[in-house]
Amino acid sequence: MTTIAVPPTRFVSPAKALRHGFSLAWRGLVKIRKNPEQLVDVTIQPIILLVVFVYLFGGAIAGGTGEYLQTLTPGLLVQNTLMASLSAGVALNTDVNKGVFDRFRAMPIARSAPLVGAVLADVVRYLVAIGVLLGMAMIMGFRVHTDPLSVLVAIATLVLAGLCFCWIAVFIGMLVPTPAAVQNIMMAIVFPLTFGSNVFVPSATMPSFLRAWSDISPVSRLADAMRGLLTGGPVAGPLLGGLAWLAAVVLVFFPLAMRAYRRRVS
């Protein structure tokens, strides 16, 4: 029997902690590969939204499907990333419920590893969600009128938005009892947030209270930034507004999420 010859250390080194995070992210990806239906809500669902809105409402809302596709796609990318950003919370909650979390907690790994793993795996989901939706939109006739660099900035901004918003889901995920509850609560947040924005219809058509909100809402700001980056138009203003929102979300929810998480892992 080879027992540990060197005495165990008190803490995990940051390099090891990162490796543990990557190992757990690998696990998340294997799970996605095995159950690709996990991705339905961020691939098939937005495609259905895209098709329905463009062909059904496009004429009524924007006076033509082609024009509507150009304004809807950038906004839908934002909504879709927000939807994707709730999976880390769901995944962590599932692990807590299934006892998998306890196994990790009883191991000499970094406390942060399951969290880092879940968030890293999320990034892949964001990229898949963005890629599938953008691809479908292109097939339907969406055209990028800017340069590749702008597209890269757009994708980076979306990933950043996901990484900022995911702390809401992580926070909720550490508080509520079941994965389904996380999902439902997050839906109740994401849906009003995205429908109460200029993603689907221009703010100008809304009643004044809604327009007031829609004009400053994070989703509208980010949607406008995406429009600027992908189809041309002003970028700096909406992007700054969006980034300010993201900073605010992180400032509020990251500490809350970490506190709730620490309470669960310590």
Between CA 122 and CA 130 the distance in angstroms is 12
Binder of other proteins out of 18, 29, 39, 100 (CB under 8 A): 100
As measured in angstroms, the least distance from the Cβ of 131 to other proteins is 23
* 11 near other proteins, judged by CB under 8 A: yes
* 12 near other proteins, judged by CB under 8 A: yes
By CB under 8 A, how many residues form the interface with other proteins?
A: 34
* 178 near other proteins, judged by CB under 8 A: no
> Minimal CA–CA distance to 222: which of 256, 251, 193?
193
- Amino acid (one-letter) located at 147: D
Cβ atoms of residues 22 and 114 within 8 Å? no
* 24 near other proteins, judged by CB under 8 A: yes
Neighbours of 68 (CB within 10 A): 21
Binder of other proteins out of 9, 149, 204, 207 (CB under 8 A): 9
As measured in angstroms, the least distance from the Cβ of 19 to other proteins is 8
* 102 near other proteins, judged by CB under 8 A: yes
Footprint on residues 104-123 left by other proteins (CB under 8 A):
104-109, 113
Binding piece for other proteins, criterion CB under 8 A, among 4-12, 151-159, 233-241, 255-263? 4-12
Closer to other proteins by Cβ: residue 109 or 120: 109
* 208 near other proteins, judged by CB under 8 A: no
Cβ atoms of residues 170 and 115 within 8 Å? yes
* 260 near other proteins, judged by CB under 8 A: no
* 26 near other proteins, judged by CB under 8 A: yes
* 34 near other proteins, judged by CB under 8 A: yes
Closer to other proteins by Cβ: residue 110 or 222: 110
* 5 near other proteins, judged by CB under 8 A: no
Closer to other proteins by Cβ: residue 3 or 208: 3
The DSSP string of the chain is -----SPPPSS--HHHHHHHHHHHHHHHHHHHHH-GGGGGGGTHHHHHHHHHIIIIIHHHHHSSHHHHHHHHHHHHHHHHHHHHTTHHHHHHHHHHHHTHHHHHHTSSS-TTHHHHHHHHHHHHHHHHHHHHHHHHHHHHT----S-HHHHHHHHHHHHHHHHHHHHHHHHHHHHSS-HHHHHHHHHHHHHHHHHTTTTTS-GGGS-HHHHHHHHH-HHHHHHHHHHHHHH-S--HHHHHHHHHHHHHHHHHHHHHHHHHHHHHH-
As measured in angstroms, the least distance from the Cβ of 99 to other proteins is 4
* 30 near other proteins, judged by CB under 8 A: yes
Between CA 200 and CA 220 the distance in angstroms is 10
Binder of other proteins out of 31, 145, 259, 263 (CB under 8 A): 31
> For binding to other proteins (CB under 8 A), which residues are involved?
1-4, 7-12, 16, 19-20, 23-24, 26-27, 30-31, 34-35, 98-100, 102-109, 113, 266
